[in-house]
């Protein structure tokens, strides 16, 4: 087995921290580079942390990294936390788009979290930003792109998000309905499952076709880790 290196953005969030553990445990990766604004408490021989504002990453830092890496994006915020639509778009659109451009010559696979229902013309500001990012990433000159579109993300959050907590509680009440195939994709996505699916896709190619860009839907995420 040929070992590679991985880069992860957003390793301190719910999905990102789960994904970081998956990458560190995977024999596929020789080294894992985590770029983060907040301290990472995890210690591991394979882990190297770059603690700095993500918009301060420069080409000099990137030049120190190896080639042919898998680059994972777990960046994301909420309108309430961001404080404004402009700040939300900075985190969920401009920052990942900028970083993909900067890492284009170093990476052979970008894996990024979007959302179920992402469309640039969506009436939802959140989904329109996610959709526009997908559109603009697809036209970049990069080797491979995999977009994950989870449903509502659930897990044990350190920070409380009222709307997501309410939706998560409601979804448990209607959980039996998600057994119907037509509704399966709307079943909330566990962050641990999403992290496992992202690592699995990157290390095995499972679920990917021959196209340069692949989209992994919320129902496919569950199927990948259970098959």
Q: Range of 183's domain?
A: 4-226
CB 70 within 8 A of CB 202: yes
Between the alpha carbon of residue 132 and those of residues 43, 74, 129, 142, 184, the distances in Å are 36, 17, 5, 17, 25
pLDDT in tens, 78-133: 888 889 999 999 999 999 999 999 999 999 999 999 999 999 999 999 999 999 99
15-29, 111-125, 207-221: lowest mean pLDDT where? 207-221
CB 152 within 8 A of CB 188: yes
Task: Give the span between the Cα atoms of 166 and 132, in whole angstroms.
Answer: 27
Q: Which residues pair with 107 in a beta bridge?
A: 69
Q: Which active-site residues does the annotation give?
A: 126, 130
Based on the structure, what is the number of domains in the chain? 1
Kindly state the tokens that stand for 80. Answer: 């309430």
What is the pLDDT confidence band of residue 170, given thresholds at 50, 70 and 90?
Answer: very low
CATH number assigned to the domain comprising residue 154: 3.40.50.720
Quote the pLDDT of residue 112. Answer: 98
**Half-sphere exposure of residue 96, counting CA atoms within 13 Å on the CB side?**
31
Q: Is the pLDDT of residue 31 over 90?
A: yes
Quote the pLDDT of residue 183. Answer: 56
pLDDT in tens, 37-86: 989 989 999 999 999 999 999 999 999 999 999 999 999 888 888 899 99
Higher local confidence (pLDDT), 1 or 47: 47
Between the alpha carbon of residue 32 and those of residues 104, 171, 207, 218, the distances in Å are 18, 35, 23, 26
């Amino acid at each position: 087995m040929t070992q590679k290196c991985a880069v992860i953005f957003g390793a301190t969030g719910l999905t990102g921290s789960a994904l970081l553990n998956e990458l560190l445990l995977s024999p596929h990766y020789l080294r894992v580079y985590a770029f983060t604004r907040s301290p990472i408490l995890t210690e591991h021989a394979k882990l190297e942390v770059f603690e700095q504002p993500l918009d301060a990453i420069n080409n000099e830092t990137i030049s120190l990294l190896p080639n042919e890496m898998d680059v994972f994006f777990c960046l994301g915020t909420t309108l309430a936390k961001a404080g404004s639509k402009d700040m939300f778009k900075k985190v969920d659109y401009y920052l990942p788009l900028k970083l993909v451009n900067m890492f284009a010559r170093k990476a052979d696979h970008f894996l990024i979290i979007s959302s179920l229902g992402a469309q640039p013309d969506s009436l939802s500001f959140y989904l329109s930003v996610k959709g526009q990012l997908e559109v603009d990433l697809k036209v970049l000159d990069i080797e491979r792109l995999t977009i994950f579109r989870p449903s509502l993300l659930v897990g044990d959050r350190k920070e409380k998000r009222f709307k997501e907590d309410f939706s998560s509680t409601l979804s448990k009440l209607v959980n039996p309905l998600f057994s119907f195939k037509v509704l399966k994709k709307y079943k909330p996505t566990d962050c641990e499952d999403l992290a496992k699916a992202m690592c699995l896709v990157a290390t095995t190619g499972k679920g990917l076709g021959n196209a340069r860009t692949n989209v992994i839907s919320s129902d496919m995420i569950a199927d990948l880790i259970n098959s």
